[in-house]
Amino acid sequence: MDLLHATPIWMDKPEDHDFPAAGNYLSLLLDARYVTEIVKALKKAETVHYFAKDILRASRLSLLPIDDTHVAEDLAKIIRGEKLSPVLLVRGKLHDDAPLTIADGYHRVCTGYHLADNTAIPCRIVDLPDHHDKK
């Protein structure tokens, strides 16, 4: 299989363990009460698709190399015909210079990008609660 031209197979919805992983990551950035609210919203959100290149640009994250452990594992899954889980995102705020946050699935976005930068990645995306910065 030619990995540079392969089309990844994606699950329709995130795996159950993706939500606590997102919450764990977000807990480094936000107070616990907002993390709980965001994770609940991610569970309810519909799955939409964005290009890998756009997710990386909006998040301002660098592309992980193809030999990164997690990227390599995801590529191996694709070769075996296993499905990848959609990614979990928190929308950034351009007017506040706040980038998109990849709460879970950074390595899956990078895997998709390595296959083709215009790979459509299934995502769940929610807005940061408006009250997160109010006292």
Q: By percentage, how much of the chain surpasses pLDDT 90?
A: 75
Farthest CA pair distance, the chain: 54
Spatial CB neighbours of 111, under 8 Å, sequence gap ≥ 6:
8, 71, 74, 75, 78, 84
| Strand, coil or helix: 120 | strand
Q: What is the average pLDDT across 72-80?
A: 94
pLDDT tier at 28 (50, 70, 90 boundaries)? very high
CA–CA distance, 103 with 98 (Å, rounded to integer): 14
Residue 9 falls inside a structural domain: yes
Question: What is the C-alpha to C-alpha distance for residues 69 and 66, in angstroms, rounded to an integer?
Answer: 8
Residues 112 and 35: beta-carbon distance below 8 Å: no
Examine residue 75 and state whether it is found in any structural domain, yes or no. yes
Does some domain include residue 105?
yes
Report yes or no on 135 lying in a domain: no
Q: Distance between CA atoms of 104 and 123, rounded to whole angstroms? A: 10
- How many separate domains does the chain show? 1
Q: Is residue 122 in some structural domain?
A: yes
Nearest to 95 by CA among 125, 126, 128: 128
pLDDT attached to residue 8:
57
Domain assignment present for residue 88? The answer is: yes
Mean pLDDT rounded to a whole number for the chain: 90
Domain of residue 32 covers 3-129
Local structure of 53: helix, strand or coil: helix
72 within some domain: yes
In the numeric block, the tokens 């997710």 are attached to 55
Q: What is the pLDDT of residues 83-134, one digit of tens each?
A: 999 999 999 887 887 899 999 999 999 999 999 888 899 999 999 887 655 4
CA distance 119 to 100: 18
Residue 1 has pLDDT above 50, yes or no: no
Q: Is 120 a member of any domain?
A: yes
